[in-house]
Structure 1
Amino acid sequence: MKWSRLLVAAGIGALVGYVVREQVNTTTSYSPEKALNSAKEAFRKEGPISGSWIYMKPKELVKNGLTYSVYHGGITRTIEGQDKPFEFYVDAHTGTIVEVAESA
C-alpha cells in the first residue's frame, strides 16, 4: 500500500515539474544574449561596430497600440570615422527588432 502511494506521488511530482518547465520555456524563449547577437548581426550588415550593451531584464514597450516585452540595448557604429550610438528594442519572445533609433 505504501509503495503505490509513493509511485502516485512521484508521478504527480514529475507532471508538475514538466508543466512548470514548459511554462517557463514559453514565457522567456529568447535570452538577452541572443537578442544582442541578432541586433549586432543586423547592424554589421551596414558597417563596423565598435561597442554594444543590453539590459538583462525585459521591460514593456508600447508601440502602435501594441504592448511588447522587449530587451533594451545599444550599439555604437563607426560611420565615416565617427562613432554614432544607436538604441534598439528586441522582442523578448521572438527576437524581432521592434525599434531602432539614433541616440543623442
Structure 2
Amino acid sequence: MNWKSFFLGAAVGIVGGYVTKEILTQKTNVSPERVLGAVKKHLQPKGSILGSWIHMEAEPYDKNQMTYRVYKGGISQNTDGNIQQYEFIADAQTGTLLDLIPFST
C-alpha cells in the first residue's frame, strides 16, 4: 500500500467532511410559501381564508431591541360574516410569527 495515497485520501475525506458540516449548519431561510401556509393554518380555525399574499424577499425588522430578517404579508379572512384583514410579520429563518396586526375598517 502506498502511504502517500492513504494520507492524501484521509486528508481529502477530512476536508470534505468539514466543508459538508459547514454547509449544512449555515442558517438558511424558510421558504416564503411555507411561512404563508403556516400563517393560514394558524388562522384557519377562526374562519375561512379569502385571500393572502407574502413579500418574497426577507427584509430587516426591529422588535424588542432585536433585529430579525422577516417576511411581510397579509391575509383576508371571513369570520362570522365579517371580513377581517391582517398584516403579518414572520421570522425568515424559523418561520415564527412575530406580529399579527388587524386592519381597522
What TM-score comes out, normalization by structure 1 length? Answer: 0.75
- What percent of counterpart residues are identical? 33
Match of 1:15 in 2: 18
Unaligned runs of 5+ in 2: none
Aligned residues: 101
1:51 aligns with 2:46: no
Greater Cα radius of gyration, structure 1 or 2: 2
Matches of 2:55 and 2:29, distance apart in 1: 16
What TM-score comes out, normalization by structure 2 length? Answer: 0.74
1:65 aligns with 2:68: no
**Residue 55 of structure 1: CA displacement?**
2.0
Matches of 2:14 and 2:84, distance apart in 1: 57
Q: Match of 1:50, SS?
A: strand
Q: Cα RMSD over matched residues?
A: 2.3
1:100 aligns with 2:103: no
